[in-house]
Amino acid sequence: MALIYGEAKDMSDQTSGTHSGHLAEGPPHHVVTVDPIEPVDRPRAMRRARWVVIVVAVLLALGAVRTLVNRYYNAHALERQMASQSTRYVNTIVPRPAAAGRELTLPGTLQGFVESPIYARTNGYVLRWFKDIGAHVEKGEVLALLDTPEVDQELNQAQAARSQAAARRALAQTSLTRWQNLRQKDAVSQQELDERTSAANQAQADLAAAEANVRRLQELQGFRRIVAPFAGVVTKRNVDVGTLVNAGNAGTNRELFTLAQTDPLRIYLYVPQAYSQQVKAGQDVAVTLAELPGQVFHGAVARMSSAIDPTTRTMQVDVSLPNKEGRLLPGAYVQVQITGKAADDPPAAFMVPTNTLLFRKEGPRIAVAENGRVNLRPVTIGRDYGRTVEILSGLKAGDALILNPADSIEQGEAVTVTPASAPAAPAPRAS
């Protein structure tokens, strides 16, 4: 913009002339002058500014569109990449068909089919013993012999009393015969005859009592021979020569011997209520011992109580086990396996590992790999064996069950199946 000096110079001259008498003459003053302002074309400036704004807006819009397009393509590319990376790699297993019958294994103890402690039936001292522990005896074989001096003396006394009673009976019978003859001659009264008849009857009764006492003491004397009541094995001997024994098992009396019949043996089992329906009389059982690995002994269910104990919720079962060779010993701990088909056994059950199960709010599910996708099958769980469970419904043979499925796995999710593993391990036996 130009500087205007004209007016400023005139004004300076006037001021200088007015004050010339008073002011000393000094150096000349330099005055800046400005050129007059040229008028501005406002409509043209507005149009120019508008075009600038439009150009900037177009450029910004083009940049935004380009950014959105790039983001769109980048998002789709990322989705494709994530989809390819999110495909699960899973291990699968094939379910194993459950056995046709249920297996139940219970602990038990071998017992003699007949086990009996043998006590003395009379008082005395052990004179001799003939059988020791482990001896096989037959029915009626003598195990020990007692000395019974008191019983012997009582028997002698009873025999003498019997003789006295016999003599009195004979006298009473003779008197009765005589009085009967006198009555026929009307020499005695009927009352006197009746008295003699009663005396004879009483004498006869006294003789019968004396004879019964003699027989009793003879039986007691016979009990000095301790005999085996049945064929079996002597499992205990608690007496020796000179031991004083008393009759019966009262107080501190101990059994002289214990005898067990070892063929067959007996096992008492207590079957839980949940398994009681699968046990039937005559059903086969398999018996194993830890000390005889690999050997199985076969028996049968002989009888069962057919009632549940309300205290233990179990049913007592009696198993009979042949033992002709005598290899099985009474008192041994055994495992008894009962196999049989129960009435409620499912027609097509499967055994699967527990790590194939998913528990959702809708119920239990098993993830099955089908055509590269996840199919969450609803299943019905039967019995739980710990590491394996019984599946009653929801599976079919040949299904590829996903092992260790993630909790986040969803229906229809893409999966890549690794080579199939071996079939599910057999279920452990219930105990």
**DSSP-based three-state secondary structure for 307:** coil
CA 357, CA 363: separation in Å to the nearest integer? Answer: 10
What spatial distance separates the first Cα and last Cα of the chain, rounded to whole Å?
A: 113
Count the Cβ atoms, other than its own, within 10 Å of residue 340: 18
Q: Tell me: do 231 and 128 sit in the same domain.
A: yes
Residues 141 and 153 occupy one common structural domain: no
Residues 192 and 94 in one domain: no
Tell whether 245 is covered by a domain: yes
Q: pLDDT value at position 11? A: 43
H or E element in which residue 339 lies: strand 333-340
Contact of 161 with 210, CB cutoff 8 Å? yes
Q: What are the DSSP calls for 170-232, one per residue?
A: HHHHHHHHHHHHHHHTT-S-HHHHHHHHHHHHHHHHHHHHHHHHHHHHHHHHHTTEEE-SSSE
Q: How far is CA 91 from CA 45, 85, 368, 391, 425, in A?
A: 76, 17, 11, 20, 15
Note whether 355 and 393 are same-domain residues: yes
Rounded to whole angstroms, the Cα distance separating 230 from 114 reads 9
Look at residues 98, 111, 221 and name the one whose alpha carbon lies nearest to residue 156: 221
Has residue 357 been placed in a domain? yes
The CA distance from 99 to 266, in Å, is 28
pTM: 0.50
Domain that holds residue 164: 149-223
> Do 142 and 153 sit in the same domain of this protein?
no
Give the DSSP H/E element, type plus range, for residue 98. none
Q: Which residues of the chain have pLDDT under 50?
A: 1-26, 30-32, 34, 37, 342-344, 421-423, 425-431
> pLDDT value at position 53?
81
Overall domain count for the chain: 3
- Tokens matching residue 290: 């830890």
pLDDT at 5: 40
Instruction: Answer yes or no: are the C-beta atoms of 377 and 368 closer than 8 Å.
Output: yes
Q: Which of 83, 37, 226 is nearest to 147 (CA)?
A: 226
Domain match, 215 and 155 both:
yes
pLDDT-above-90 percentage for the chain: 43
| Residue 53 domain flag | no
**What burial class does residue 256 get, using C-beta atoms within 10 Å of its C-beta: 0-12 exposed, 13-18 middle, 19+ buried?**
buried
Q: What is the pLDDT of residues 82-131, one digit of tens each?
A: 655 567 788 999 999 876 556 788 999 999 989 899 999 888 999 999 99
pLDDT of 69: 81
Under 8 Å between Cβ of 366 and 379: yes
- Give the three-class secondary structure for 129: strand
> Domain for residue 64, yes or no?
no
Pairing of the two strands 88-90 and 415-417: parallel
Q: What is the pLDDT of residue 98?
A: 78
What pLDDT does 300 receive? Answer: 93
The Cα angle at residue 205 between residues 202 and 206, in degrees rounded to 5: 85
The closest alpha carbon to 320, from 264, 389, 363, belongs to 264
User: Has residue 95 been placed in a domain?
Assistant: yes
Q: CATH number of the domain at 366, please.
A: 2.40.420.20
* Predicted confidence (pLDDT) per residue in 326-372, tens digit: 889 899 999 999 875 544 455 568 999 999 999 999 999 999 999 88
Q: Do the domain assignments include residue 275? A: no
Amino acid at 402: I
Q: Compute the distance between CA of residue 73 and CA of residue 138 in angstroms, rounded to an integer.
A: 100
Q: Which CATH number do you get for residue 138? A: 2.40.50.100
The single-letter DSSP state of residue 423 is P
My answer on whether 153 and 139 are in the same domain is no
* 203 phi, psi to nearest 5 deg: -65, -35
